[in-house]
């Protein structure tokens, strides 16, 4: 039977594929396809892990102290039995052979199937055995982790590479929640769409999904419970709807829409190298937001004239406390700079915290772990200033990369003049250290992100200390309206059209322009065509967004006349409902 699940659209387009359910706790498990000639090797890895776990359990049982409760020994017997049960390891082999999943992925897929069977059981005792299966699987996953092949041995998990042997069906990922750091691993993955139960439109998970330019729906509440492994799904990334096992007519309709959007995409792509100039001759800078150095090539290919936001924190995540040292960071920044072939690269200093924890925690886990509000805690520049050694190391790495091209430093979440002073001192100290060591570096502009209302309200004083500013609308909205951007329960209140938000943005742009300082918007509003006209009317001439959005925004810029737009600004800014007023004046386009 076909059902529909509603959530929030975060990345446009239509994806059609079979569901791959991934438990949130297991999204960090490696997901890649195994070529035919290595299937037996993969099965052998599973067998070795099983034998090792069996030996471990047997040893545990043997070494139980004489006075240990009899239940303990019985429990180990149950675990040993489960380990050899066809429903676990036997069925996992089938996933490897038939789907070409690597052993870890196959095991987690089978675990999902079993978990659901246990959940459906009437008998309480039997239902509780799910925990035992999970414990056994955890042990197996631990062993498999030790025998995991190096990255070069894995087949690059790209769609084209995988299709050679992994069956014909495209795959769609369904999870309760995915941490931003795990989402980044899916960047070059086989998945052609995403659905998560939780998350907001500008949560970092959604942002990474959008940067992958594949349809995604978040905040779909019950999705991971209602959808079953292998169900056919249509993800309507425009409407925020997931259709489970659609009828042939619905499927046909969506296939048609899919073809239409591919044609539209190809048409927009032709604008790639057209300069972004308005009808009245105003040049507009369209920059790219990237998460990893490898994204720079895509930015260039999409026609970006530079990187307006490199979210460097993705280099710091999931490293078990082993943060990247100066050399590793330098290599990463340099490779982005070289890839941009002389175009500017804006590197934001690490913005760890809030929904981007250092270790692997989903936003939901994070909220449960820390009762205090992480969005108001030690994040971004606050964290950097609390770790001066780490901060100077990052600054030295960025400065050194500037010897290879145009680099700008961007400081996130500044709110206090004291933070500005401390940051500038840290940069001066880093320069001094490089001078002392005889290391080269170039001229580097330093800018601040305006993403806290305090910074927007104090913009004149902030501008006196910085070469440029970049407005982070995602956080500016979060902090102005007191809405956690990652919380789907309040996502209906996350409103970029709120007059207070628009006023802070407009004032920041106007003041920066008046002082002759550069000003850009790098939050999600910059890549949303619904706001292009309005931002142009406010005087913005620099937008930074996911590479995939550049062509659409360029199309709007090419059709805009900034003189006419400026004349409409007052009406929108004075309106109680700026979105409606903007629609009445025929400004803007469709929002995602
Ligand atoms: C923002 O807050 O708008 C921004 C661009 O930074 P991030 O989304 O990484 O917090
Ligand atoms: Mg931000």
- Tokens representing residue 573 in the block: 């800014």
Decide: residue 509, CB within 10 A, 0-12 exposed, 13-18 middle, 19+ buried. buried
Q: Which residue has the tokens 């628009």?
A: 502
Matching residue, tokens 């925004």:
553
pLDDT at 163: 43
Check residue 322 and give its pLDDT. Answer: 84
Instruction: Kindly list the catalytic residues.
Output: 204, 522
CB distance 144 to 107 below 8 Å: yes
How far apart are alpha carbons 191 and 207 in whole angstroms? 16
Which parts of 193-342 fold into alpha helices (H)?
204-211, 223-226, 248-269, 295-301, 326-339
d(CA 244, CA 196): 14
Strand partners, 173: 20, 194
Instruction: Read off the pTM.
Output: 0.83
Please tell me the residue having the least CA distance from ligand 1 atom 6: 472
The predicted pLDDT at position 164 comes to 46
Exposure on the CB side of residue 266, measured as CA atoms within 13 A: 6
Question: So what's the pLDDT on residue 152?
Answer: 39
Question: Rounded CA gap, 239 and 220, in Å?
Answer: 12
Please tell me the distance between residue 472's alpha carbon and the centre of ligand 2 in angstroms.
5
Cα-based distances in Å from 574 to 214, 377, 481, 577:
37, 34, 19, 9
Instruction: Please state whether beta strands 445-450 and 468-471 pair in parallel, antiparallel, or not at all (unpaired).
Output: parallel
Out of 523, 525, 531, 535, mutate this one to test ligand 1's pocket (max ligand atoms within 8 Å of CB): namely 523
- Nearest ligand to the CA atom of 203: 1
Report the pLDDT value the prediction gives residue 208, as an integer from 0 to 100.
82
**Distance from C-alpha of 145 to C-alpha of 232, rounded to nearest angstrom:** 31
Beta bridge partners of 5: 242
Residue 528 Cα to ligand 1 midpoint, Å, equals 14
Q: What was the pLDDT predicted at 205?
A: 77
What distance in angstroms lies between residue 403's CA and the mean position of ligand 1's atoms? 27
Question: What pLDDT, in 10s, does the model give residues 328-343?
Answer: 999 999 999 999 999 9
Give the max Cα distance, the chain.
88
List the chain residues with pLDDT less than 50. Answer: 151-166, 590, 592
Contact 37, 248 (CB under 8 A): no
User: How many angstroms is it from 69 CA to the middle of ligand 1?
Assistant: 54
Does ligand 1 lie within 6 Å of residue 353's CB atom? no
Give the per-residue pLDDT at 181.
73
289 in contact with ligand 1, CB cutoff 6 A: no
Tell me the helices (H) and strands (E) count for the chain, helix number first.
24, 16
Q: How confident is the model at residue 588, as a pLDDT?
A: 67
**Counting atoms of ligand 1 from 1, which one is nearest the CA of 475?**
2
- Ligand 1 contacts CB of residue 472 (under 6 A): yes
pLDDT value at position 80? 92
Atom 8 of ligand 1: nearest residue by CA position? 474
- Cα separation, 178 vs 570, whole angstroms: 41
Ligand 1 atom nearest the C-alpha of 470 is 5
Q: List beta partners, residue 543.
A: 286, 521
Tell me the best of 312, 451, 478, 519 to mutate to test the pocket of ligand 1, counting ligand atoms within 8 Å of each CB and taking the most.
Answer: 451
């Amino acid at each position: 039977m076909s059902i529909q699940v509603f959530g929030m659209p975060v990345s446009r387009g239509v994806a059609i594929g079979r569901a791959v359910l991934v438990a949130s706790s297991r999204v960090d498990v490696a997901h890649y396809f195994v070529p035919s000639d290595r299937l037996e090797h993969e099965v052998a890895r599973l067998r070795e892990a099983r034998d090792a776990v069996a030996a471990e359990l047997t040893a545990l049982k043997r070494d139980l102290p004489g006075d240990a409760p009899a239940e303990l020994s019985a429990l180990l017997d149950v675990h040993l039995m489960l380990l050899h049960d066809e429903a676990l390891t036997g069925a996992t082999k089938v996933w490897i052979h038939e789907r070409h999943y690597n052993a870890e992925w196959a095991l987690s897929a089978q675990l999902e199937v079993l978990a659901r069977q246990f959940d459906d059981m009437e008998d309480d005792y039997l239902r509780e055995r799910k925990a035992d299966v999970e414990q056994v699987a955890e042990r197996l996953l631990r062993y498999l982790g030790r025998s995991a092949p190096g990255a070069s041995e894995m087949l690059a998990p790209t769609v084209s590479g995988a299709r050679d042997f992994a069956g014909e069906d495209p795959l769609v990922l369904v999870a309760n929640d995915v941490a931003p750091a795990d989402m980044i691993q899916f960047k070059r993955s086989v998945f052609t769409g995403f659905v998560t139960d939780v998350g907001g439109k500008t949560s970092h998970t959604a942002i990474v999904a959008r940067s992958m330019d594949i349809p995604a729906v978040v905040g779909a509440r019950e999705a991971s419970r209602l959808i079953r492994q292998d169900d056919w799904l249509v993800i309507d990334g425009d409407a925020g709807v997931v259709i489970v096992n659609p009828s042939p007519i619905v499927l046909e309709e969506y296939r048609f829409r899919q073809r239409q959007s591919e044609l539209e995409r190809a048409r927009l792509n032709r604008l790639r190298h057209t300069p972004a100039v308005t009808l009245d001759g105003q040049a507009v800078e369209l920059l790219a937001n990237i998460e990893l150095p490898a994204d720079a090539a895509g930015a260039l290919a999409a026609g970006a004239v530079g990187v307006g936001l490199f979210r460097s924190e993705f280099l710091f995540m999931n490293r078990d406390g082993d943060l990247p040292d100066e050399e590793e960071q330098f290599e990463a920044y340099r490779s982005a700079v070289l890839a941009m072939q002389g175009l500017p690269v804006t590197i934001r200093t690490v913005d760890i915290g809030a929904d981007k924890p250092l270790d692997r925690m989903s936003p939901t886990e994070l909220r449960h772990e820390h009762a205090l509000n992480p969005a108001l805690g030690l994040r971004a520049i606050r964290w950097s200033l609390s770790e001066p050694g780490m901060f100077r190391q990052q600054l030295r790495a960025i400065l050194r990369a500037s010897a290879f091209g145009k680099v700008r430093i961007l400081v996130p979440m500044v709110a206090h003049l004291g933070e500005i002073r401390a940051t500038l001192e840290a940069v001066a100290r880093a320069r001094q250290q490089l001078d002392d060591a005889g290391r080269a570096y170039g001229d580097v502009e330093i800018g601040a992100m305006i993403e806290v209302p305090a910074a927007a309200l104090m913009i004149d004083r902030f501008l006196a200390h910085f070469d440029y500013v970049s407005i982070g609308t995602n956080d500016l909205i979060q902090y102005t309206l007191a809405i956690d951007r990652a919380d789907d329960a309040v996502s209906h209140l996350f409103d970029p059209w709120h007059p207070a938000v628009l006023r802070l943005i407009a004032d920041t742009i106007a003041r920066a322009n008046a002082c002759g300082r550069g000003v850009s918007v790098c939050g999600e509003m910059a890549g949303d065509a619904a706001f292009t006209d309005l931002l142009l009317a406010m005087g913005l001439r620099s937008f930074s967004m996911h590479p995939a959005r550049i062509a659409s925004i360029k199309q709007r810029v090419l059709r805009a006349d900034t003189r006419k737009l400026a004349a409409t600004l007052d009406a929108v800014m004075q309106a109680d409902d700026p979105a409606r007023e903007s629609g009445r004046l025929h400004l803007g386009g469709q929002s995602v």
